[in-house]
């Protein structure tokens, strides 16, 4: 019986340690001026001929942290993101943290899909797509092929009308 209790305690502690590690990464700044950060990202995207990828979520969200880590640890995805997007992490706070509801209203309420949720703006700041992150998952994590497909479909190049006007 002692072995069972000891094993249970060890597994419980391991679970809480793993959960704490997952959310110890801080990618969202709850004190950021989200409106100013977004305006700066749009200016940068315009000057670099990129789109803006907004990841809406919070440091409280394990799936938000998991997505961030997954993308940073995958050189193909990380390169694809850096070459084609200006990335913004828009905080949706818990408790007293700002929820940035004014911006989310302007983006047509992407939080309705859960977190994280991704919003693509063109280089002029117009919303062109909102992506429910559950479609980028596979099993207990994210799917590389699905993420790559999503990112490639919303690049400036993919949306270039000249690409499709050729006869």
CATH code where residue 115 lies: 3.40.30.10
pTM score, whole prediction: 0.84
15 found inside a domain: no
- pLDDT tens digits, one per residue of 120-136: 999 999 999 999 999 99
With contact defined as beta carbons under 8 Å apart, do 52 and 120 qualify? yes
115 lies in which domain range?
A: 20-159
Residue 166 placed within a domain: no
- Domain annotation covers residue 104: yes
Q: Which residues contact 140 (CB under 8 A, 6 or more apart)?
A: none
Domain membership flag for residue 5: no
In this structure, of 1-10, 110-119, 148-157, the range with the lowest mean pLDDT score is 1-10
Query: For residues 70 and 133, what is the distance between their CA atoms, to the nearest angstrom?
Result: 13
Residue 86 CB partners (closer than 8 Å, separation 6+): 41, 42, 44, 45, 48, 50, 51, 52, 53
């Amino acid at each position: 019986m002692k072995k069972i209790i000891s094993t249970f305690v060890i597994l419980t502690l391991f679970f809480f340690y793993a959960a704490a590690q997952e959310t110890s990464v801080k990618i969202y700044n709850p004190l950021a001026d989200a409106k100013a950060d977004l305006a700066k990202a749009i200016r940068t995207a315009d000057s670099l001929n990129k789109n803006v990828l907004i990841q809406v979520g919070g440091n409280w969200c394990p799936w938000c942290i998991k997505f961030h880590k997954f993308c940073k640890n995958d050189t193909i995805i990380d390169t694809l993101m850096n070459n084609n997007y200006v990335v913004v992490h828009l905080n949706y706070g818990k408790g007293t943290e700002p929820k940035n509801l004014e911006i989310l209203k302007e983006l047509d309420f992407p939080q309705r899909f859960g977190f994280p949720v991704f919003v693509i703006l063109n280089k002029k700041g117009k919303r062109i797509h909102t992506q429910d992150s559950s479609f980028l998952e596979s099993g207990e994590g994210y799917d590389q092929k699905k993420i790559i497909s999503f990112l490639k479909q919303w690049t400036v190049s993919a949306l270039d009308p000249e690409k499709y006007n050729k006869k």
